[in-house]
Structure 1
Amino acid sequence: MKKTIWTSLSLIILLIAACANEDSNKNEVKIMKKKKAVVYQVFTRLFGNTNTTNKPWGTIEENGVGKFKDFDSNALTEIKNLGITHIWYTGVPHHAVITDYTEFGISNDDPDVVKGRAGSPYAVKDYYNVNPDLAVDPDKRLEEFKALIDRTHRHSMKVLIDIVPNHVARNYEGLTNPKGIVDFGVDDDTSLEYKRDNNFYYIPGSEFKVPNWENGYSPLGDNTNTLEDNMFIEVPAKWTGNGSRLPQPNFNDWYETVKINYGVRPDGSKEFEELPDSYAEKDFKEHFEFWEAKDVPDSWKKFRDIALYWLDFGVDGFRFDMAEMVPVEFWSFMNSAIKMKNSEAFLLAEVYNPQLYRDYIQKGKMDYLYDKVELYDSIKHIMQGHGWTDHIPVVQKGMQDIEHHMLHFLENHDEQRIASPDFVGKAEIAKPAMVVSATLSTSPTMIYFGQEVGEPAQENAGFGSPTRTSIFDYLGVPNHQRWVNNKKFDGGQLTDDEKDLRDFYKRLLNFTITSDALMGEYQEIHFYNKEHTEGYDHRILSYVRWVDDEKLVVISNFDAEKSYDIEFKLPTEIIKKWRLCRNTYKLQEQLYDGTDYELNIENEVGLINLRLRPLESFILQVME
């Protein structure tokens, strides 16, 4: 009997001690300074365009174009207030365009190898300058972009731009190269298909032929151009950007670009030293030292120099296009050089093969990769009604070791707009998905301009098709233009529903960049509630996030029609981890109006009575 009493007293003392230690644990966590990052991807030439003509294949004069100067103090203040930490200015490097800038010493581009009237931002023509479309005075386009960088920094946001290492425009021509910089291909031996220090691959004895246009397509639609003659002179023909080795690429190939050679022979073997597996565990300084004395292919050096040039210019990081098409060893070389110049540089890469994720993060020294194939695709299926929330915890568990490096998004320039009929047709259906995307992990969140006001991308711009806001043509973006409101940037023309949607994004994103818990621990409680909570099903998702002084319960209802009245449960494991010693705690909802709820603890299980309305989410904080 005495032993039993002593054991009980010991347990009580331990429990009191655990509760008493909460304050000291809080002090330990307060040193954590890292917060979540939120990236605002903006298609630069579309952002400030207030022209509403939207003629298919329209010229710059007919459809208008946005400028660097449109990102004025008011615009940047509103972007910052949305909860943004980084702006990815898409389409900044000088790419091939149709507009005539010969009076500024810029050669014309041939529409037979340009996609759309405005051109693809991923067919870069000159890496040491910027798109003349974006400048009020094309002669001063670099100065105007530098001014934008400075304005963005004054508004406490970082600047990202694209680098596209896999390919360049067919007519690459650097006009303002720094001293000692030689253009891609100038020193190539074009008599050979492959040579290690050639920048391109060649098809000796051939001439390039433009694709056979399909379905009545022509490069500029009904608009004509004197250079549109179904010809582009390139002798010998080069490999096309997506790897096609045909002198006449297919219409669906990346015919406007040519592939860069990184010292990979046509048979796939490598003519450079491979990175030892042990370097997956080494930091960027050790990677830099590994390559410092190595002889590397010429293309490696050219792209390193490009990145360092833009860092010196004031850019804070890069989004790397189709990174998985370039050897991981190059990324080790390039990214370690970037980090040696700016250890805080933000490096985001487009990689779609999950089997390559860890190599490109660990060996390639990428900070972040798109979480498209796992999280985005899963959430899209759930939003469309043919996926189950059960899959999300499985995805997150599989990413556990690299979850911080997997950037989350629901829209970008390559993906369908949420509000387009081919996705879900209604922007509000994204609300629970956005809560999950933004709060599930410690990774950054990204939104695409216009997403926050429900842009549906219904315009037939010319090249390509609706559902994605065109990146190839001059265009006005209607929902976004209502927010721009004749460059007042105050949302003055938005509908009530659009205002409500933007308010939701603003509340959510601002919460994520201030929360310590979202950089802390994660545990799913979804399957526990499926088993123990009556009425809880696969249209709901729940998990907890915490540090010692901030404990969050996140619950989202993906059903657009059904409400759930449930007695939601926190399992014993969480009650113990959180050292919840009282019978009752107040829960404060963080996303909307701070409404209070109650957590009751019975038999070491937490109970929360909730009504989850259609598409509603709760972020509940335990108030201690």
Structure 2
Amino acid sequence: MRISIYQVLPRLFGNLNATNQKGGTFETNGSGKFEDFTPERLQEIKELGCTHIWYTGVMEHATKSAFGSKIPASNPAIVKGEAGSPYAIRDYYDVAPALAVEVERRMEEFEALLKRTHAAGLKVIIDFVPNHLSREYASDCKPSYVKDFGEEDDTSVPFAPDNNFYYLPEETLTLSCGNEVYTETPAKATGNDQFTSHPSHNDWYETVKLNYGIDLAGDWSTHYNPVPDTWNKMLDILNYWAAKGVDGFRCDMAELVPVPFWQWCIQKLKKVYPELLMIAEVYQPERYEEFVLAGFDYLYDKVGLYDLLVALLKGRASTNDIGGLLQSQERVKHRLLRFMENHDEVRLASDFVVGDGEKAFPAMAVTALVDGNPLMTYFGQELGERGMDEEGFSGRDGRTTIFDYWSVSTIREWLLSNGQKESPLRARYQSLLGLAQKPLFAEGSFFDLNYHQPHFAARGLYAFLRAYGKELALVVVNFYGEGQTVEVAIPPHAFEVVGLSSEVLRVTQWPDGGETFVRLFSDQHYQLKVPAYGVTAHLFTVNRQQ
């Protein structure tokens, strides 16, 4: 099966509390729970066409909420929003208490979620945050043999190979939030590589940078032998979650962690868990091959196809650019995770992109059908979620908050309808993701047709072929708001590349399911209709040339 990931924040997914007070507390606005992912809900996600769920925000992170005497609130000065960032980890060996019905049994509830997810035929991905952690990191759930981060550091020096943190020995960091003040002596370097005791509001001021054996504050010398203490600590954390049955990790800001660590770590992990899925958040295409060679299965494709398609939706790019972009990714083309939304990016249906999920559907169709790479859908994307709420720390920015307690209206209404609410967009996503699983699209070869259709770009059209075995697909995507009848010329070279003969072919039309028979000839103009903001695929059963 082709990997198809459904990214979801449990904190928001099952929260049916519609209070949605701006900056509201846990008590006021509520929180979703692990138990909200019932067998029925998991089945709906599977039926959408997904194979994996990325549960975002599972590990315990800094928050302004207290959960009994054993889990106090973090200092408000180092928490973004009321709920806090899922990427300011406070305990790598624990789960977020807000996600549990019974806080004392929170790990049992997560383990039960793992079992339910697997029973539904889905695999589980969680975040691994290796570059930074909360300024108030303190694990109360770590194994007895584990020392906390920084517990044995020499804080009198800026850098030491076995220190977990970087220090500014003569300086004190002070952060404030209202009447609350947080101080840290000596100051530690901030998560986004800021070696200052005065990080700005735009820095990752709530986090501390982890030391992997590079003297970042000095001469950038590397100290990997013997293996730095941080390396061993991180490997232990990954083994801990993999042993529980987690099937994969989305590795946050992997490019800020040295590649030699990933090579060492992934090799050791996969000796024990050979099927473990490792996904790297990387934004530097010139470095992609480094991370592939280090052992990552897949890398984020944000600055490639995603950026191009968003520009296209905004009228700032041409459909003719798609083929060239795909060609530029040839060296790592099977290693890129395709998506059109995630927690970092602006919602497609927001006012900042196209304002309507239907108008964005062509971009998802291209993402899903041009190759067999892993796909990702962000919860609510399939319902046209606009992300235009002003939740608190997260303003009206077109993103669904990761910092606040909130309830997402599209998801809430879908859940309250028990999946019975009509959602034409969701039906289109389900049909598209189902089509993307066919071997023709999951494994087939690709041939760009737009360069051979001189007027397609001006009409917002993109055409291509996919071929596999005795099957061929002609796909035309329409980025315009009017339906179009188009004539596609298939050049002689395409016949050679896909091994197409000119015998009678059975044609199945997607998505309407109609059938007919045709005979294709080189440079013949083949006619089909494409709906507004839609996609049409004609699936041919062909005889391959011998």
1:576 correspondence with 2:496: yes
Q: Which residue identity lines up with residue 250 of structure 1 in the other structure?
A: S
Quickly say closer, same or farther: Cα 1:535–1:335, change in 2 above 3 A. closer
Q: Distance in 2 between matches of 1:100 and 1:535?
A: 58
With CA pairs under 8 Å and 6+ residues apart, which has the higher RCO, 1 or 2?
1
Post-superposition offset of 1:57: 0.7
1:98 correspondence with 2:16: no
Q: Which residue of 1 aligns with 2:529?
A: 611
Q: CA deviation digits over 1:88-133, x for unaligned, max 9?
A: 0000000011111233x12331111000000000000000010000
**8 Å Cα contact 2:249-2:278 kept in structure 1:** yes
Q: CA deviation digits over 1:153-179, x for unaligned, max 9?
A: 001111000011110000000101113
Aligned to 2:426, what secondary structure does the other structure show?
helix
Quickly say closer, same or farther: Cα 1:339–1:233, change in 2 above 3 A. same
Q: Which residue identity lines up with residue 295 of structure 1 in the other structure?
A: P
Post-superposition offset of 1:491: 4.1
1:547 correspondence with 2:468: yes
Q: Distance in 2 between matches of 1:306 and 1:45?
A: 22
Map 1:153-302; keep pairs closer than 5 Å: 153-210=118-175, 219=177, 229-265=179-215, 266-267=217-218, 269-272=220-223, 295-302=226-233
Q: Mean alpha-carbon deviation: is it higher for 460-469 or for 83-92?
A: 460-469
**8 Å Cα contact 1:41-1:446 kept in structure 2:** yes
Post-superposition offset of 1:524: 1.1
Q: Distance in 2 between matches of 1:420 and 1:325?
A: 30
Q: Distance in 1 between matches of 2:475 and 2:343?
A: 29
Q: Distance in 2 between matches of 1:616 and 1:236?
A: 58
Q: Which residue of 1 aligns with 2:28?
A: 62
Q: Which residue identity lines up with residue 182 of structure 2 in the other structure?
A: F
Aligned to 1:262, what secondary structure does the other structure show?
coil
In angstroms, what is the RMSD of aligned CA positions?
A: 1.6
Quickly say closer, same or farther: Cα 1:47–1:330, change in 2 above 3 A. same
**8 Å Cα contact 2:373-2:442 kept in structure 1:** no
Q: Which residue identity lines up with residue 525 of structure 1 in the other structure?
A: L
1:457 to 387, 412, 415: 387
Q: Distance in 2 between matches of 1:536 and 1:247?
A: 52
Q: Which residue of 1 aligns with 2:112?
A: 147
Q: Which residue of 2 aligns with 1:594?
A: 513
**8 Å Cα contact 1:518-1:545 kept in structure 2:** no
1:370 to 300, 303, 308: 300
Q: Which runs of 4+ in 1 moved over 6 A?
A: none
Post-superposition offset of 1:607: 3.4
Post-superposition offset of 1:400: 1.0
TM-score where L is the length of structure 2: 0.96
Post-superposition offset of 1:611: 2.4
The alignment of Structure 1 onto Structure 2 pairs a total of residues equal to 540
1:82 correspondence with 2:61: no
Post-superposition offset of 1:577: 3.9
Post-superposition offset of 1:60: 1.0
1:559 correspondence with 2:475: no
**8 Å Cα contact 2:88-2:133 kept in structure 1:** yes
Post-superposition offset of 1:269: 2.2
Map 1:373-384; keep pairs closer than 5 Å: 373-384=303-314
Post-superposition offset of 1:566: 2.5
Map 1:345-424; keep pairs closer than 5 Å: 345-362=276-293, 364-424=294-354
Q: Distance in 1 between matches of 2:420 and 2:265?
A: 41
Q: Distance in 2 between matches of 1:351 and 1:535?
A: 33
Post-superposition offset of 1:295: 2.1
**8 Å Cα contact 1:406-1:443 kept in structure 2:** yes
Q: Which residue of 2 aligns with 1:585?
A: 505
**8 Å Cα contact 1:322-1:350 kept in structure 2:** yes
Map 1:87-126; keep pairs closer than 5 Å: 87-103=53-69, 105-126=70-91
Quickly say closer, same or farther: Cα 1:575–1:55, change in 2 above 3 A. same
2:240 to 293, 309, 314: 309
Q: Distance in 2 between matches of 1:535 and 1:50?
A: 45
Q: Which residue identity lines up with residue 333 of structure 1 in the other structure?
A: W
1:46 correspondence with 2:3: no
**8 Å Cα contact 2:15-2:412 kept in structure 1:** yes
Quickly say closer, same or farther: Cα 1:511–1:535, change in 2 above 3 A. closer
Aligned to 1:507, what secondary structure does the other structure show?
helix
Post-superposition offset of 1:47: 0.5
Unaligned runs of 5+ in 1: 1-34, 212-218, 220-227, 274-293
Post-superposition offset of 1:231: 1.2
Post-superposition offset of 1:454: 0.5
Q: Which residue identity lines up with residue 555 of structure 1 in the other structure?
A: V
Q: Which residue identity lines up with residue 484 of structure 2 in the other structure?
A: Y
Q: CA deviation digits over 1:50-73, x for unaligned, max 9?
A: 011111110111111000000011
**8 Å Cα contact 1:599-1:606 kept in structure 2:** no
Aligned to 1:209, what secondary structure does the other structure show?
strand
Q: Which residue of 2 aligns with 1:134?
A: 99
Q: Which residue of 1 aligns with 2:425?
A: 501
Q: Which residue identity lines up with residue 501 of structure 2 in the other structure?
A: C
Quickly say closer, same or farther: Cα 1:360–1:165, change in 2 above 3 A. same
Q: Which residue identity lines up with residue 479 of structure 2 in the other structure?
A: F
**8 Å Cα contact 1:100-1:108 kept in structure 2:** yes
Q: Distance in 2 between matches of 1:268 and 1:319?
A: 31
Q: Distance in 2 between matches of 1:522 and 1:579?
A: 12
1:338 correspondence with 2:338: no
Post-superposition offset of 1:599: 4.2
Q: Distance in 2 between matches of 1:622 and 1:607?
A: 16
**8 Å Cα contact 1:54-1:459 kept in structure 2:** no
Q: Mean alpha-carbon deviation: is it higher for 371-380 or for 458-467?
A: 458-467
Quickly say closer, same or farther: Cα 1:514–1:251, change in 2 above 3 A. same
Quickly say closer, same or farther: Cα 1:195–1:538, change in 2 above 3 A. farther
Q: Distance in 2 between matches of 1:128 and 1:244?
A: 27
Q: Distance in 2 between matches of 1:547 and 1:601?
A: 17
Quickly say closer, same or farther: Cα 1:253–1:137, change in 2 above 3 A. same
Post-superposition offset of 1:342: 1.4
TM-score where L is the length of structure 1: 0.84
Post-superposition offset of 1:538: 5.8
Q: Mean alpha-carbon deviation: is it higher for 309-318 or for 353-362?
A: 353-362
Q: Which residue of 2 aligns with 1:281?
A: none
**8 Å Cα contact 1:80-1:157 kept in structure 2:** yes
